[in-house]
Structure 1
Amino acid sequence: MGSLTINKQKLKRFTMATKPIMEEYLSKIDVDLSDYTFAANYIWLANSSGFYAIINKCFCLFIMTGGELTMLLPPLGKKKHITKAIVKCFEVMNENNSSPYYSRIDYVQGSMLEEFLQNTDEAESMFEMLESYVIEKKLVDYVYEVNALIDLRGNSYHTKRTEINKFVKSYPDYVVEQLDSVKHKEEIIHLFDKWVSDRVKYMPKEEAEVFLEGIHQERHAVKQMLKHYEELCLIGLVIYINGELKGFTVGERINQNTATVIIEKTDFEIFGCAQFIFREFSKMLKEHYGVTYINVGDDMGFENLRKVKMSYRPFKLVPKYTIYQK
């Protein structure tokens, strides 16, 4: 699918060539959600489903799903331009969609909403906008202090330390390497497939059905990540045990103070591997980027994932909102 023209607004394909354009607009805003990077959006989008436009001096990212158009992020730009851009984006979505019900803006950071409301120049128009739209809280991103993840001090991290110590004792010949997208490609895909198979075995049937619906998209994301690893300026590591790749993880910088873990997978049968690779990657992210915080994304609504992420005692939870029309 090429570009689209909707309501006289041209939407261009979201491709690798969009990277410098989007990153120019991202540099103008202060957010620490894991969704606000080019790489995070590029690897998760199907090849023909992403579109963008510069609307009222804002970068606007759309996704086409089943013929319906939504936004993956709010318009990115200066505060004084946001409100009119939001209104225009809804006009574009409504013109395309079979019902206004489908039109929405996802992954809006709470602090951005607060800033819009506090903008005195836009106060009146923002009030009028809130009369026509509904803002609904969705998931939260889990953000940690990087030193806490490395040191794992105190009683609250006792279990993590125990798991890591058992891992090191059980697998003293482990080897950690920086991820190479060519060298490690096939082994990473193989581990991902094993991870999916193992995960489903221990899931309740109703949860497994929901889980499997997203697996095709996640497998595509892993392949996109490997294919464009260098271009996306990603960083990652892998871990070998007895010559077999048993874990991999990939991340990037969100802003000056925060890095993010985009994806992490380990073999369920290797006790303590997940805890060990997370600590080692935290060290790598701190050393490479000099960051203070690490964002590991949301829990996708899975209770078991929520428990795992809460067990690391997040420094803060960053809410994500969706904007709908009334």
Structure 2
Amino acid sequence: MGSLTVNKQKLKRFTIATKPVMEEYLAKMDVDLSDYTFAANFIWLANSSGFYAVINKCFCLFVMTGGELTMLLPPIGKKKHITDAIISCFKVMNTNNSSPYYSRIDYVQSSMLEEFVQNTDEAQSMFEMLESYLVEKKLVDYVYEAAALIELRGNSYHTKRTEINKFMKSYPDYVIEQLDSVKHKDEIMHLFNKWVSDRVKYMPKEEAEHFLEGIHQERHAVKQMLKYYEELSLIGLVIYINGELKGFTVGERINKDTATVIIEKTDFEILGCAQFIFREFSKMLKEHYEIVYINVGDDMGFENLRKVKMSYRPFKLVPKYTIYQK
């Protein structure tokens, strides 16, 4: 699919060439959410589903799913332009969609939400604005202090320290390397496929079917990450054990102080590998990139993932909202 025109508004394809355009607008914002980077959206979007336009001096990112348009992020730009851009974007979505029910804006950070509610036209009261829109709290991003993830001090991190110590004792000949998208490509895909088969092996049948439905998108994301690794300025590590690649992790800088982990996979059979590579990645981010905080994204609503992320004792939880029209 090429560009799309909705109600005289041209929406261009969201491709790797969009990177400088989106980043020009992101630079105007102060945000530490994992969703607010070009790479995070480009990696996870299917090739034909992303579209963008500059509306009311804001960068607006849309996604087409089953013929219905939604927004992956709120309009990105200066605060004074965001409210009018949100209203215009809903008009675009409503014109395209089979029902206004499908129109929504995801991953809205709280500061933008406040701006949207408060910065209304004089003729339109806040009450009227809230009468027209429904705001729903969805997920939270888990943000940690890099130093805490490296030092793992105190009783709350006892289990993590134990797992890492057991790993180092069991696999003293491990080798850590910076990720090279050409050198490590085939081994990373091999590990990813093994990770999928291992996950399915221990799942109930009904849960496995649901899991496999979403795995196509994640496989695509890993391939996109490897294909455009250099262009996206990504940061990554791999770990070898007995000559075999057993784990990889990839992230990027969100802002001056904060980095995010985009994708991490380790071999289930190597106990402690996930904890060890996470600590090593945190070290690299702090020592080489002067990162203070590490955002590992949300838990996608999965209880087991929530437990894992909470077990690392987040420094803060950053809420994300979705805006619907009533």
The TM tier, using the shorter chain, reads over 0.9
- Are 1:163 and 2:169 matched, yes or no? no
Amino acid at match of 1:32: D
Do the aligned partners of 1:258 and 1:292 also contact (CA within 8 Å) in 2?
Answer: yes
Q: Deviations over 1:233-272 (max 9, x none)?
A: 0010000000000000000001111100000000000000
Do the aligned partners of 2:117 and 2:130 also contact (CA within 8 Å) in 1?
Answer: no
- Once structures 1 and 2 are overlaid, which stretch shifts more, 203-212 or 146-155? 203-212
Q: Deviations over 1:94-139 (max 9, x none)?
A: 1111111111101111232124445588795655332201011111
Tell me the equivalent position of 1:191.
191
- Once structures 1 and 2 are overlaid, which stretch shifts more, 128-137 or 253-262? 128-137
Tell me the equivalent position of 2:53.
53
Amino acid at match of 2:63: I
Do the aligned partners of 1:79 and 1:119 also contact (CA within 8 Å) in 2?
Answer: no
Amino acid at match of 1:164: I
Amino acid at match of 2:299: D
Q: Deviations over 1:45-86 (max 9, x none)?
A: 111110000000000000011111100000001111111111
Which runs of structure 2 are paired with 1:161-310 in the superposition (5 Å)? 161-310=161-310
Distance 1:110 1:165 in 2: 40
* TM-score using structure 1 length: 0.97
Instruction: Give % identity.
Output: 89
Tell me the equivalent position of 1:136.
136
- The structural deviation recorded for 1:206 is 3.6
Do the aligned partners of 2:118 and 2:126 also contact (CA within 8 Å) in 1?
Answer: no
SS of equivalent to 2:192: helix
State how many pairs are aligned: 326
Assess, with a 3 A threshold, how the Cα gap between structure 1 residues 282 and 125 changes in structure 2: closer, same or farther. Answer: farther
- Once structures 1 and 2 are overlaid, which stretch shifts more, 100-109 or 113-122? 113-122
Distance 1:290 1:165 in 2: 26
* TM-score using structure 2 length: 0.97
Structure 1 unaligned spans of 5+: none
Do the aligned partners of 2:136 and 2:322 also contact (CA within 8 Å) in 1?
Answer: yes
Tell me the equivalent position of 2:24.
24
* Coordinate RMSD, CA, aligned: 1.5
- Once structures 1 and 2 are overlaid, which stretch shifts more, 57-66 or 118-127? 118-127
